[in-house]
Structures are given as C-alpha cells and as structure tokens.
Structure 1
Amino acid sequence: MRLKVRTLAGMLATLLLLGWFGYKELPSFLYHQGYNQALLQWFPNDEYARPAINRLAMDITSEMGTGDSEYIFVKSSGGASSSGSGSTKLDREERADIIHKLEKLLAQYGHTEQMSSVAYNLALMHFWMGNWDRAESLLLAIERMGGHGWISQEEQGAYLAILESRHKQKGLPSLEGIVRIGDQPVPNAFVMIQRANDSTYYSPPLTHYPATITDENGRYRFYGIDPGEYNVAIGVRTEQINGYYMTETESKTADIDGEATALHDVQFVPQVMAVSPGRNELIQGDELRLQWKSYDGAAYYKLNITYMHRDRSGKYTGATTTALSDQKYSSQEAVFSIREINGVYTMSGKSYGQNGEVTLNTAGLLGMLYPGGEFAWSVDAYDEHDRKLSSSAGYFLHQDAITPIFRVADIGLSEGDRLVIAAQYEEAIEAYKREGDNDHALRVLARLADQGIGKEDGDPAKALAYMERIREPWESDKEFIHTLRDRIQRQKRV
C-alpha cells in the first residue's frame, strides 16, 4: 500500500503531537500515581516537583509534626500553655531518626528553592530538638534564597532572632536573670516576655513575643526592650518540670526602666505533696477529706478544686479550677460536706461545638462535686507574707498528670441528672418538671433557665420563678435569688 508524502507527514505530526502531549502530562501522571521518586529524577524542575518533595517529607514526618508539642511555657503571672497542638509521644531517639531521614532527602535533591519547604520543616525540628546551629544555618540558607512566599517571613524572622540571641551582644542588657529547677541552672530553656497589660495570648506563643535561650549557666539576657512592666514565661520540656512548680518571686513581673539592667530570676521548686484522696479514688458518702504533707516555710495552705471538661463524646477538652474555700488552713487536713459544696452556684459556663451544639458546664448545673463526676484537687502553700511558695497542681492535666484525680460515686442521680450529664438538656428539663416541687430539681431547672440551653441568653425571670418555689432554701439559694432580682431590675432600666 502506497502512502502519499502529505499523508505520511500528517501521521508523523500527529504522533509527535501525541508524544509531546504524553510527555507533558507524564509529571502529572507520576505525581497522582505516587511515583514521586521517578518524578523528581526525570522532571526535577516541573511544577509537580515541590508537592512531590513535600509528599515524601510528609511520609517521613507524619508521626512527628515539628516536635514542638513536648514543650510547655510557664508564666510568672500564673498558668501555662503548650508550645504546640500535637499529641506526639515519640522519644528523642525516634525524633533524631526522622531528622536523619529528612537530612538525607535534602542531601539527595539539593538545597534548592523546590526543597525550601522541606528545609524549613527540618530547621524547626532541629530547633525544638535543641540543635541550634543546624537550625540557624538552614533558616539562613532559606533566607538567602528568597522566594519563600509559602511561609511566613515574620515567623521565620522570629525563629532566627531567637537563635541569634544566643550570641553575645554589645551594650547593656535590658533584662537578665537565671532560670533554675531545684538547685540546678537550666541551660537551653526558652525565655519569653510579654507586656503585663497585654491581655491577648497566642498559642503556641514563642514566635509572637520577644524570646531568647538560656546559656550553659541558665542565664538569659534581653537587649533593646522598651521600658515597661513585663510578664516572664519559661519554656522547657514537660519532663524537666515533672514534680516542680514555679515559685512566686517578690515581684511577679519584670520592670524595665531603660537605664539599668532589670533582674528577674526564675525558680522552680518541689511541688506540695497531696496525699488523699489519691489518683482514681472513688468518694462514697457525703464527706470529702483532703490531706497533704507539710511544706517547708509554709505559714498556711489554700485549697482548689478542678472540674474536668469533656465534650459530648467524652473526650477531655479542658478544665476549670476554682477555690474550694476561702479559708486558710494551718494544718494538713480539711473536711468538707459534698452536699453543701454542691449547693453553691459558682461555675456556670457554655461552649459551642463545630455543628452548633451547646454544652453547659455540668458542675455549674449539678454542683461543684456532682455525683458521677471526676475532679482534681490541689493545695497551695503560702508564707507569712502571702507569697505562694508552691502548689501540688501540675502544669498539665492529661494522662501524665500528677494532680490527684478522683471520682464521686454516682449514687442518688435522678433521671434529670443523668440527662444533664449526657448533655440532653431538653429531655432533662422535662424529667425535672415531672419531679414537681423537689428542691434539687428546682435548683437545676433554675440554673438551666438562667444559662439557657441554646445559643441565646438565659431567662433570669424564669430562673427566679423556679428558685422562689424552693421550700427549704440554702444560704447560697438566697444569694442566687438576690442576684437574679438585681439582674431583672437592671434589665428593666435598660
């Protein structure tokens, strides 16, 4: 069969076009089929190269994140926050192995713009592992290459500033001090400062505020800080302060005047030892007996109770701590009536889920120590000048918490109470109404009406109507009635 030249040329052109199209689409095919190594070998500069590299890196780091979640920041003004949102439980050897794999990936494909995202994540992993020099060199290399619109230059600059603060600077420091845990200075700890009148707080906090790293003697220095009053926060690995508490200094804040160097040392001391009830202990009956060990230098003690928050699926979501009593205790024991504690209405609260569902503070409805609930307690030790020396409270309330978590037996729970615990508030209201003029049912109905079971605000008038039906009001009931009447009068004047 004979073909004309024109026909043959057309066929060849078609084949070339199909071949070119296939070649052009090959990187996309390789990427979407998961052949990332082949893609990077044959098409290192294609638009799919960077996502392919990132996918390889993600395969390596999926169990680790950036490694920041093992740090905790403790503030001189009280409280603490984690440095990340991860729940990674890898040990340092496992983290080091992941870093080694990323280093091999970086060496294999070179420190190019395509590899910048890998280099940046690797730098952060080195940062949180305390490999300061390597983290700094990687961040500087990324900065020299430029074109990093995919990361926050502000965040990168903050990490670099922290790393560069390790090097000795000229001039007089604005603020300096030593961080100690027990009697030992703490090298390589993060120190962060925030203006005392700044009510905002970012978490993780490190890149949002001036920060530095302690030297081998536990000393930190800040330069060029504007005059003012500052809170100081210390960032350490959680295991470093296991069993320790940041003691209060004479001044909770650091005062920088812009002339002389302000001094602010930070000391973590052993926690107060809580004795009973112990972890996972079940409290039966009306008596709650708290016992603790004497603390050196303490003139008196104060007690706190913590209510554990869980969402509708039972997942731990946080905690609320409040004083158990205003009393100052000079001994190492205190006894309470659970019934009397549950009569005090002080823990209201409302949260909203992703789908708009409302969850109320169960302790604010059924009582601070409601039957079936789980709670933590802590004791604070103070000296004769009202300075808090230490506390039994740890800085984290999770599986590794030191704070004793106990449970109150679910004896005496009504149908309405169980529905409240299950966050079925409409059904709970109907159940309580069926109980008639039961004082407990009326109290909970009043609290539900006061808070509101939906997104809208509560109805104090409706709450008052329930409270006024209580036949044997407690002192706390009378105070609540007075509060409701005041709120109703204020609403009328608006």
Structure 2
Amino acid sequence: MRIRVKIKHLVFAAASIVILLACYFTVIDPALNRYAAKQTIERGGVPAKEALLARFANAKDGQEQWELTRTYILGDGSDSIVHGFDVRIGPGTSQSGGSADRKQPRLTWEEKLPYLQSYAENGPSGGDLYSAVKQLVLYYNSTGQPELALRVLKSGRARTTNPWESVRYGIDQAKQLVSMNRYEEASEMLEEILSSSEKTRDYTVLQQVTALQAAMLLREGNLEEAIAKVKADEEDYKRELEKLDPAAADAKNSQVDHQMESLQGLTDQLESMRNEQGSQLRLSSVSGTVKRSDGKPMGQIGVYLRQEAAVFHSVIEEEPYQVLTDAEGRFAFSDVIPGYYQLFIGLDYEQIDGWAWPTRANEWIEVKSGESLSRSVTLEPLITIVGPVNNEPTTGNAIHFEWEPVDGAAYYELSGYVHIGGSSSGTLIRGRIKDHQADVPLTELEASGGGIQYKSVDGTVGGKQIPDPISLLGYAYPAGKFSWSVEAYRADGTMISRSNGYRLNTDTVGELPFFRLSGRPLTEADRLLLADKFDEALTAYKKAADANAEDTHSLRMIMRVYDAKSSMDRQSTDEAAMMPYLKRLYALVPSGQYLFRLFEYEAGARDWAEAEKYYASYVAHNPEKDHSYADAIYAGGLLEQGKYAEARELLLASVQVDGSHRFVGDLLAAELLLTDGFESAIELATRYPEHEFGQTMTNWLALVRAMKQEAEGKPDYQSHLRQAIEWHYSGNGAILKSWQDESKEKAMNDFLRRLEEVD
C-alpha cells in the first residue's frame, strides 16, 4: 500500500521540526548540559571543577547563580576559619573535619570570589548571606584589605532584618574594629549589642562582648582594669543566671556553663600574667610562614596559635588567635598574651595529600613579655615504603621492613598497628634504626604488643565493654590485619618526616602498608580467649607454659590476660602472681618492655636492690633511647630512700628530655629539701612548666611563689616544709595528713596536695 502525504502535511511537519530544533537549542539542550554538568560534578575528579565553573558561567539568571553559590560555595564550611578545612594538624595530633571521599570540588578563593561578592551585594538576606559575608571577611583580612572586610560586614548588617543576625554581624564588626585598633567605634558597637541583648540575655553574646572589652583594655595596657572587668561581668552573669533559672547555674554540660568557664579561664590567664610581670603589661607577637620543603608557599592555610589550656580539645571558633595565610604563606598574630602555646594548621585534603608536618606532642612555643617571635611550618613529603605492602602474607621467623632512605636522617623509628573493625592501636616496634630497613623477629614483634581495645558484650553502643581478645593476641592472631609506619629523625631528635599521612590520589597513594602473618595456629588457650572465657584461658595458658619452658607465646599471653582482667575489674594487675611468668619470659625474650615492667614492679614493692638491678639493665638495654620516664620513676625511689641529691640530678636530666615536665613537682621537692630559700625552686619551675597532655596541669611556679610569700616573717617555715616533704616520700601519709589538718599554711598545703598527684 502506497502512503500518500499531502503537501500541506509536509510543510507542517517541516515547520514542527524547525520549532522543535529551536526549542531543543534554547531549552532542552541547555537543560541537558546543566544536568550533564551536575552529574560530572557529583562524580568528582579533575573534570568536576571545570564542569562546576562552566555551570556558574552559563547560569541563566541571578537566581540560578545564587542557588549554585549556596550549594557549592556557601555550604563548604569556608565561612569558618575552623570548620572550613578538612584537616587540622598540630603537635602529635591530627583532627579530621572533612570526608576523605568528598567528591564535590572545592573552589579556590580566586575562583569563588566574584560569586561571593555578587551574593553579598545582591543575594537574598538570611543565613546564607551571613556565610558569604564571613567568607569575604576571611579573604579580605588574609590579603591585607581590612577596610573591605569592615565594609562588607556593615553592608550585611544593614541588609538583615533578623535581630539575632544583626547581633552576629555586630560582634564580627566589633572584632574587626578591634583588630584595626579602632577602639572607640568598637566600644560603641558593643554597647549597642548589649542594649539589644538585654531582653534575651544571650550568654554566648555576653561572653564575647566581655572578651572583646578585655582585649581592648589589654591592648591599651590596662591589665588591672581588664581583670576587674572580666571578674565583674562573670559575677554579674552568674547572678542573672541564678535569677532566671537557678537550676541552670549548676548544669555542668549546659551552654551557659561553658560560657562561664570561658570567662573563668580568661580571668585565670589575666591573673597569671599579672603574677608573672606585675601590672606592667607588654603584649607580644608571633609570625611566620607555611610552606612545603620544595619552596612552594601555602596560601590560604588556617593557622591557629592555641593557648595551653585549649590544646587538649578540638579547635573551636572562640579561640582568639586564628588567621589565614596570605598568598606567600605568611601569617602574623599581634597582641599575644605571654604564655605557652602550640601552633596548629588547617588544610584541605588536596593541600596535605602526599605531605606531612613532622611535629611531636610536646612542641611548645613560649611567648615572653614584649617579644616578637618567629615560628614557621614546613611540610615534608611522606616517606615511601617498600615492604611489606598490600596485605602480602609474611612467612618465616622474621619480617623484613624496608623504606626509601630520607636525606639527613640519623635514625628511624618503626611502629606497628593492630586493626580491629574500624579502630586500631599502635606501638613502637623498634627505635633508633640506623639503616632504612630492619629484620624484626616475630618474638620481638609480638613483644611490642599493642594497646587493649574494647568491644560491647551485646554488640550495642552503650552495652557493657570488655577487652577485645583479638587486641590481646595482637600480632599472634593469625587472621589479624596489621600495618606499619616509619618516622625519620635527625641526630638532635627532631622529626624529618613520616610514612603515615594523607595519600588520596594515584600519584601519592603508593603501596599500602598492610601485611598478614601466617603460619602460627591458634592454641586451645587462644580459642578460649576468643570465646571471651578469660579465666579459663588464663588457666590454659599457665598449663601450657608449665608444660613447655620455652613457650613464649603462653608466657606473654599470661601477662596480657592479667592486664585485661584488671581493666575489667577496675583494679591493679595482680603483679605478684604474674611476676614469675614475666621473669621467665624476659629470660627467653630480653625485651626492654619486659625489663621496664620488672623494674616498675620491684620499685612499687620497694625492693630497692632488685629495682636498681632492673633499672640499670633497662638503661643498658636502651643506651640511645629516651628513658626519661624510667629515670623519673627511679628518682622517686631515691627520694623515698632519702637520697635527695641523686634524685635531684636524675630528675633534672629527666625533665630536660621529657617536654611534658610531668615530674617537675618531684624535682622541686628535691630542690626544696636540698637548698635554703625558694629562689632556685622558682628558677626551675619557670624553666620547666608542666605540660602534661590530657591532664589538669599544675602551675608549680605559682605554688612555689605563694609559699615564698607565705614564709615571710616565719623562720621555721622551711624546716616545717622539709619535714612535710620527707613524710610524703617516706610513706608516713597518716602523719602528714594529721599535720596538714592542723596546719594553717595554705600555700604549703596546696603544694603538698599537688605533690601527691605527681605520677
């Protein structure tokens, strides 16, 4: 059958095709392009950023551009100098704030700047506008344009209709004015904020206002006024809080309580400064650069100068010293209160990928009064590992570890990790390795042990926790997942680089540092342990050890199970029952770890002859290793024996090596026992302040100074102090407590109480 088409139908069809093509090119094709670009962005990779920038460039109108800005620029956390980075790195710690598998591209400041400016000028008001303004303020300040930062803050505040947002803008505007030394304008702004906050009494706002007012007083040299201001406001807020809600005043976890603690911390810091330098205030400055070892400056990096009391938690926005580096990687903090600080940096994954900042936990910056201090950060390339890698199984009685040599390295330290589920625990396998390789016997690897990890008995998050048997077996668990890392050090003990770090693309990921151990079967005792039958497993291990005098595995596991049981019972390990097995194990595997455990036990049992024997063996076993902790423990024994001069010498050597200065209290006690007056103890307390990580630190300098003041006009004061210290170390705690209960010497009692906490 022939199909006949009339001419008019052909004309209509042709016209329809033209219309459809026009519609395709004007409506459908751009929509498909936007959809394809969106899919490319979500898939990530190098094309993702190009696709995103193309979407911005081809936005059909301002509304679409603002939506893109909200989705891809304002939602990335960059309005916060704290939360705008994937990683924050400091001495001995790394805090992750992003996702390692983040696919959404993050634009550079130069790429997003025009869209931020457009949104700040014409975008809708609200929280997103505030985010755009905050990002611009960070950028303008980091590029030396504080007037532009102030202008955009004023513009944002003028556009908002929300009273709370107006307060937020006002606080930021006051901070900006303070940084520009425009104190009169800042004071007027703060007074305006206080009057607008009277109805709500928002204590977060009030705390920030007080902190800014104190900062201005300090910058003008008015230390006493700053202290009086903070104290008065603190008491005022407490009274107001009790009126509004008395129960909230004691709510230790409430937001209000957090603000009160912030004010108390500020008061303590100001009073400490007054004790250090009197009322004559001289603030300081800290500056430097962040760069890579190949010379590349790290621009727009977050830098945080963190106060001593703050380094034990994550970086928060309330901390006062935070800046972005400029294009040359430079940063500077002015008007820094004298004290001890640590430097942290914030980076995106792309910036840290393949690089490391080699720092250790006790690297402190002492900022002295009126000082201009320079401290810089240099990122080093991660160490390349050779083997074992990629979960390859290892056989034989030893494992060969190897890595690429590092220029300037005097020695290396090798660490291992036991992985269980999503967690891991690590320990040092061997230190002071001179070569870029090491053959480690399995007995040495197993002796390095690992930390005890815990699991829930019923599998729930809040359920009862018991030691995970896999973590107790450690490297002796044949189905275990293990990894390793290496660090390189100069002869002076400063770290050069490490192998552990962020490796996020094919160019930097390299070989994976995982390995498996094969060959050793599980014993009957191991199976009992894996079934959580700790008592039965301990009996079985003892039986096996008694049957085979060279069964190092069973001897080691006896120690591990005793430690696990003590952690469950919240009691000290039954050292007396464990010691015979530990001594047998040390005879077979002369590990430094076992030696230290023997020394610690004998010192605790006050068998000084045996303790001295094991201490001497431990030092001889580790001639180049840092044994400052063992030195301090042994010195404590010398103090108990009345050998004060020997103890002082050993404690002084210990605190000079141990940056935490955790035993400085014992050193000061020895000094006070051996010398007249307080001057030499004050000098030592000044030189070696306590910095113990994660603990409530003791201000020993303040304690000794308080005793010096308390001793004035009391000729018998120091002889009473010496007697009390001797009672403390000789085990006469009951006599000491009775004396303290009757004593009216507050400063002396404070010192003695803190001495009891030294460990």
Instruction: Give the TM-score taking structure 2 as reference length.
Output: 0.44
Aligned to 1:451: 564
| Residue deviations 1:116-156 (CA, integer Å, cap 9, x gap) | 3x4455667889999989998886666665866699969x9
Q: 2:88 aligns with which of 53, 73, 76?
A: 73
| Residue deviations 1:201-226 (CA, integer Å, cap 9, x gap) | 33244553511011121111111111
The residue identity in structure 2 corresponding to 1:409 is L
| Residue deviations 1:278-332 (CA, integer Å, cap 9, x gap) | 2333323331111112222222222222343x4xxx2x24x44432223x22222
User: Aligned ranges for residues 120-159 of structure 1 at < 5 Å?
Assistant: 120=130, 145=160
User: Aligned partners of 2:166, 2:564: CA distance in 1, in Å?
Assistant: 43
Aligned to 1:405: 513
Aligned-partner SS, 2:413: strand
| Residue deviations 1:137-184 (CA, integer Å, cap 9, x gap) | 886666665866699969x95899599979999999812111112311
The answer to whether the aligner puts 1:323 opposite 2:418 as a matched pair is no
Q: Give % identity.
A: 21
User: Aligned ranges for residues 230-249 of structure 1 at < 5 Å?
Assistant: 230-247=341-358
The answer to whether the aligner puts 1:382 opposite 2:489 as a matched pair is yes
The residue identity in structure 1 corresponding to 2:430 is S
Q: 2:573 aligns with which of 460, 464, 468?
A: 460
User: Aligned ranges for residues 91-490 of structure 1 at < 5 Å?
Assistant: 91-92=105-106, 110-111=124-125, 115-116=126-127, 118-120=128-130, 145=160, 174-181=285-292, 182-195=294-307, 197-198=308-309, 200-205=311-316, 207-247=318-358, 252-308=363-419, 310=420, 314=421, 316-317=422-423, 319-326=424-431, 328-344=432-448, 347-348=451-452, 354-360=461-467, 365-367=472-474, 370-394=477-501, 404-409=512-517, 411=519, 412-414=521-523, 417=526, 425-426=532-533, 429-431=535-537, 433-434=539-540, 437-439=543-545, 440-441=553-554, 443-452=556-565, 456-458=569-571, 460-461=573-574, 464-465=576-577, 468=580, 472-474=584-586, 475=590, 480=597, 483=600
User: Aligned partners of 2:486, 2:390: CA distance in 1, in Å?
Assistant: 15
User: Aligned partners of 2:177, 2:323: CA distance in 1, in Å?
Assistant: 7
- Residue 457 of structure 1 and its aligned partner are, at CA, apart by 0.9
Considering fraction of residues, name the structure with more helix: 2
Aligned-partner SS, 2:557: helix
The residue identity in structure 2 corresponding to 1:333 is Q
Aligned-partner SS, 2:472: helix
Shift in alpha-carbon separation, 1:484–1:147, aligned structure 2, 3 A: farther
User: Aligned partners of 1:280, 1:465: CA distance in 2, in Å?
Assistant: 39
Shift in alpha-carbon separation, 1:174–1:409, aligned structure 2, 3 A: same
Aligned-partner SS, 2:335: coil
- Residue 431 of structure 1 and its aligned partner are, at CA, apart by 4.8
| Residue deviations 1:49-108 (CA, integer Å, cap 9, x gap) | xxxxxxx99x969x9664747521222x33322235896442226999999999999999
Could you tell me whether the CA contact under 8 Å between 2:285 and 2:334 is conserved in 1?
Answer: yes
Aligned to 2:706: none
Shift in alpha-carbon separation, 1:299–1:340, aligned structure 2, 3 A: closer
The structure, 1 or 2, with the larger RCO (C-alpha pairs under 8 Å, 6+ apart) is 1
The residue identity in structure 1 corresponding to 2:290 is V
User: Aligned partners of 2:492, 2:430: CA distance in 1, in Å?
Assistant: 20
Shift in alpha-carbon separation, 1:210–1:445, aligned structure 2, 3 A: same
Could you tell me whether the CA contact under 8 Å between 1:69 and 1:87 is conserved in 2?
Answer: no
- Residue 334 of structure 1 and its aligned partner are, at CA, apart by 0.6
Shift in alpha-carbon separation, 1:166–1:208, aligned structure 2, 3 A: same
User: Aligned partners of 2:502, 2:180: CA distance in 1, in Å?
Assistant: 27
Shift in alpha-carbon separation, 1:136–1:241, aligned structure 2, 3 A: farther
Q: Which has the larger radius of gyration?
A: 2
Could you tell me which runs of 5 or more consecutive residues in structure 1 were left unpaired when the two chains were aligned.
1-55
Which deviates the most, 231-240 or 376-385? 376-385
Shift in alpha-carbon separation, 1:147–1:361, aligned structure 2, 3 A: farther
Root mean square deviation of aligned Cα: 5.4
Could you tell me whether the CA contact under 8 Å between 2:290 and 2:330 is conserved in 1?
Answer: yes
User: Aligned partners of 2:544, 2:397: CA distance in 1, in Å?
Assistant: 20
Could you tell me whether the CA contact under 8 Å between 2:284 and 2:338 is conserved in 1?
Answer: no
Q: Alignment length, in residue pairs?
A: 417
